[in-house]
Structure 1
Amino acid sequence: MKVEQLTCDYLVVGAGAVGMAFADVLLHETNANILIIDKHAKPGGHWNLAYPFVTLHQPSAFYGVCSKELNRGVIDKCGMNEGLMGLASGQEVSAYFDAVMNETFLPSGRVQYFPLCEYHGEKRFASLVNGTQYEVTVNKKIVDATYLNTNIPLTHTPSFTRDDDVAFTPVNTVTMHANGYENYVVVGGGKTGIDTCLWLLQNKVSPGNIHWVVSRDAWLLNRKNTQPLERFFFDAIGAQANQMEAIAQSESIDDMFDRLESSGVLLRLDKSVRPSMFHGATVSEMELEALQKLTSVVRHGRVKHISKEALEFENASWAMPENALVIDCSASAITNLEIKPVFSGDTITPQTVRAYQPVFSAALIAHVEAAYSDEATKQLLTQVVPLPNRDIDWLPMTAAMLRNMKIWSEDEALRMWIHQCRLDGFSRIVHGVAKDDVKKLAVLGRLKAASMPAMQKLMTYIQTLKASGQFG
């Protein structure tokens, strides 16, 4: 079969949120020609396969691409997110990325888009529809926007086994199979498990009939502290000041987490259970109250095998309730925790350079590529913030984020770009503080005063963890 020849300046592999956010900045800040390939039929990556009731966990203002608003300024007037900024549904996010591609990218004349194609490496890819082979001449760089691989319930392989007669469904198809059961066994304690338990509660399932299998309890973020609006200044920026003070004033790692909880920075499901996981999942206070009404939370570690009679764990067995549907929510959101250099020769590998914000990170990396020519400078400005898994991973994540913020603050041009970036949010409400607003200035003063002592304390704790072999 003849190989078709293509040419571009940047070859972006992956049209998910990261690839789209990166390409958007290149499109608006350079004259580059961009070629985007993706295995899905539409842009949006894993959102193409999202479960029906999924929403963003943080405000829509933090999501999407720089050039197009997703949030629309909506404040929810009902539900468990009432009073907070709107959370786009999976359908909204999918439609949003489709609109970005068809209303902004393709009309520019500088973007080529090849959906339903698989990248084979070496600047080659093929159509999944008709097998057409393509070879690309890349004038500048390849952008691997698939590196932060998202594992989704519909396509992942569970780590447990099960008997064939078990009533079982991945969360993606639960709406089609939920009817007729008295009990629901939700396997997975992360974001998807949270969403599923809340969905069942919202659909009038009694809390006593929801059995939540949580292998590890997690520290959670309070969504009220993530609102990038002036009216939430004391929640959002106040939480940042509280965080720095909690770290700086702590006397041990456990004491630090206790202080973070008591100051409202972190939340947990059960005050009597010490969390050992942190994935950055975010809940509203009303959602947490609803989850705390669940009377059957199963904590025996990871499920090994499921039968109609019992869930089997490594060192325990839990009797399965009668007439139960098992809902698989055990897929991990991000499966690739290994760090690579963002800039390496002719390849750019977008990763998180700010915690919790992969799309802002992708946009900033694209801006650095567009605005800076020196490789060493690019690497300095895009040091990776490691993705967390365990509770203690919160420490190096936070330390790396503080490091990057300090470096960015010392570059005036980059500081101004961040201030103007739609995906940033907090810079605007900080810069908008009036010189005579004593209360807000006091919060900013607390934040500034505690930041350096907090960084020093984090480094001390991290060294202690390294010495004990808990970090490599």
Structure 2
Amino acid sequence: MKADLSEKYCTDYLVIGAGASGLAFVDTLVSESDATVIIIDNRHKPGGHWVDSYSFVTLHQPSSFYGVNSKELSNGRIDDAGLNQGLNELATGAEVQAYYDNVMRDTLLPSGRVKYFPLCEYLGNGRVKHLITGHEFSVQYKQKLVDSTYYKTSISATHTPQFEIDSSLTMIPPNTLPSTLSKANHGFKHFTLLGGGKTAIDTCLWLLQNQVAPENISWYMPRDAWFLDRKNTQPTADFFTDSIGAQAAQLESLAESTSIEDLFLRLEKSGVLLRLDGNIMPRMFHGATISKAELAQIKRVKHIIRRGRITKLTPSEVICTQGTETPIANSLYIDCTASAITNLAIEPVFQGDNIKLQTVRAYQPTFSAAFIAHLEITYPDNEKKNQLSKVVPLPNTVEDWIEMTYRNMMNQFFWSKEPGLKEWMLKQRLDGFAKLVSEVRFYQLDKLKVLNRMRKAAKPAIAKLKVYRELIASSTN
């Protein structure tokens, strides 16, 4: 799998990062052109952040539209047990790692046009350093330098907490939780989760599924979040009224809403969004997906502390930005505070001879990378490519949901007007829903009614998004 080191290499495209986005880009580039590629990555095997993920992580979107276009990840199975029961399968972290290993070994390298250098760091100006030997070599690229690490993903295993913790307390990342608790004399009676994102949810569910009583779990949640109902993300025909119906409901909620708060309440009422506590209006939106069965489980945990971010942990008090709390003795602290993305700045995707991979469709980084690769191959100038690859920002707050949704809808509109793009998307495995819509027939009246709802609500929804964007802009000036 690994290319030999020498003093100088020449390639068409130099890709930094062998994670999900980088490999989706390379896969499309290799499939649709005769370009040569060199991939530089600082990990020991392909897969990006999946290589360092905790053992109980899974995808939180269906496997059927994740990965690279040319190779299936899904087995086409509906889960018949567990908290994802009745929905399309979710690949485990181990399955995703094996998948990317296979993509590299069985698809990319056998093309004869891809070289892969793991455990290497790109130093800039065409210089590469091998992390074990310290050997340096050069790579000259004739076309583009592709940065698939632009978002700078942060992971629990290597995360440095942004708060102080007393040395007498025990805090671990989720990665070491199973091995810590498998020891018969671990001695912990209570478990304290730190953080409010998807990692904390996964960890809470793991504890509950492994017989930890809800009353033995505390949860410091800096912010409550809105969640997407996973049932609405299913890309198969049996779920058409859920998935496409949720898209119609979202447009209708926008069109009929009278304020941003009213909008989110309508999104909840129509089944698009979920929240943990009906009495608390969430301010965070990261696009996390959850099943109703998972939500029911985490609702069993009642000791949730909402005092903002933790600044200091001591045996006698937990100091937060919005007050203090008395900690529970003999507790194991589990640090779930790593932010998945540490760079939210938006830049043009195409910049001279550089490509910075970013999301051009909401919630779909791998589709976005494949789409950008197709633009690179198909269109001759960066100006046109950038017109078709307006970045859809990664959301953090409910206000970000407005901008994300607006840009996502505008991209879809302009793509639909571009000759060839619609046809290309219909053939792409990573496009979860275009094919689903295209397969609706004139006699399927229930599905046609859903599509008609979307058409009817689209224009007033865009108009309302513009109003909310102006409102947000004026409030921040």
Partner of 2:368: 361
Using the alignment, how far apart are the partners of 2:6 and 2:58 within structure 1? Answer: 41
1:79 aligns with 2:82: yes
Using the alignment, how far apart are the partners of 1:310 and 1:468 within structure 2? Answer: 37
Using the alignment, how far apart are the partners of 2:78 and 2:91 within structure 1? Answer: 11
Report the secondary structure of 1:97's partner residue: helix
Using the alignment, how far apart are the partners of 1:148 and 1:91 within structure 2? Answer: 23
1:247 aligns with 2:254: yes
Partner of 2:277: 270
Partner of 2:446: 439
Using the alignment, how far apart are the partners of 1:364 and 1:259 within structure 2? Answer: 32
CA displacement, residues 30-78 of structure 1 (integer Å, 9 cap, x when unaligned): 0000000100010001111101100011111121000000011011111
Partner of 2:243: 236
Report the secondary structure of 1:312's partner residue: strand
Report the secondary structure of 1:78's partner residue: coil
Aligned match for 2:99, one of 96, 101, 115: 96
Partner of 1:372: 379
Partner of 2:58: 55
Partner of 2:353: 346
Using the alignment, how far apart are the partners of 1:358 and 1:148 within structure 2? Answer: 11
Partner of 1:300: 307
Using the alignment, how far apart are the partners of 1:101 and 1:3 within structure 2? Answer: 21
Partner of 2:109: 106
Q: Which amino acid aligns with 1:317?
A: T
CA displacement, residues 59-107 of structure 1 (integer Å, 9 cap, x when unaligned): 1112100000001101111100000011111111111000000011111
Partner of 1:456: 463
- Return the TM-score normalized by structure 2: 0.97
Partner of 1:5: 8
Structure 1 runs (4+) deviating above 6 angstroms are: none
CA displacement, residues 414-437 of structure 1 (integer Å, 9 cap, x when unaligned): 111111110012111111111111
Aligned match for 2:150, one of 147, 150, 153: 147
Partner of 2:474: 467
Q: Which amino acid aligns with 2:203?
A: T
Q: Which amino acid aligns with 2:145?
A: I
1:35 aligns with 2:38: yes
1:258 aligns with 2:261: no
CA displacement, residues 2-40 of structure 1 (integer Å, 9 cap, x when unaligned): 971100000000000010000000000000000001000
1:331 aligns with 2:338: yes
Using the alignment, how far apart are the partners of 2:424 and 2:152 within structure 1? Answer: 28
Using the alignment, how far apart are the partners of 1:357 and 1:156 within structure 2? Answer: 24
CA displacement, residues 328-372 of structure 1 (integer Å, 9 cap, x when unaligned): 000011111000110010000110000111000000000110111
Q: Which residues in structure 2 correspond to 1:423-438 (within 5 Å)?
A: 423-438=430-445
Q: CA deviation at 1:180?
A: 3.1
Using the alignment, how far apart are the partners of 2:309 and 2:52 within structure 1? Answer: 25
Q: Which moved more, 1:306-315 or 1:115-124?
A: 306-315
Aligned match for 1:18, one of 17, 21, 25: 21
1:287 aligns with 2:294: yes
Q: CA deviation at 1:315?
A: 3.6
Partner of 1:136: 139
8 Å CA contact 1:7, 1:136 repeated in 2: yes
Report the secondary structure of 1:154's partner residue: helix
Using the alignment, how far apart are the partners of 2:340 and 2:455 within structure 1? Answer: 33
Report the secondary structure of 1:304's partner residue: strand
Report the secondary structure of 1:219's partner residue: strand
Report the secondary structure of 2:12's partner residue: strand
Using the alignment, how far apart are the partners of 2:321 and 2:8 within structure 1? Answer: 54
Aligned match for 2:319, one of 306, 312, 319: 312
Q: Which amino acid aligns with 1:162?
A: I
Using the alignment, how far apart are the partners of 1:439 and 1:48 within structure 2? Answer: 43
Q: CA deviation at 1:308?
A: 2.1
Using the alignment, how far apart are the partners of 1:88 and 1:180 within structure 2? Answer: 33
Q: Aligned-residue CA RMSD in angstroms?
A: 1.1
Using the alignment, how far apart are the partners of 1:206 and 1:403 within structure 2? Answer: 47
Q: Which amino acid aligns with 1:9?
A: D
Q: CA deviation at 1:412?
A: 3.1
Could you tell me which runs of 5 or more consecutive residues in structure 1 were left unpaired when the two chains were aligned. none
CA displacement, residues 312-331 of structure 1 (integer Å, 9 cap, x when unaligned): 11241111112210000000
Identity over aligned residues, as a percent? Answer: 51
1:386 aligns with 2:400: no
Could you tell me which runs of 5 or more consecutive residues in structure 2 were left unpaired when the two chains were aligned. none
1:65 aligns with 2:72: no
Report the secondary structure of 1:196's partner residue: helix
Using the alignment, how far apart are the partners of 1:32 and 1:315 within structure 2? Answer: 55
Partner of 2:188: 181
1:116 aligns with 2:123: no
Using the alignment, how far apart are the partners of 2:202 and 2:404 within structure 1? Answer: 25
* TM-aligned CA distance change 1:153 to 1:107, over 3 Å: same
Using the alignment, how far apart are the partners of 1:135 and 1:143 within structure 2? Answer: 16
Using the alignment, how far apart are the partners of 1:177 and 1:319 within structure 2? Answer: 24
8 Å CA contact 1:3, 1:132 repeated in 2: no
Using the alignment, how far apart are the partners of 1:269 and 1:35 within structure 2? Answer: 45
Report the secondary structure of 1:135's partner residue: strand
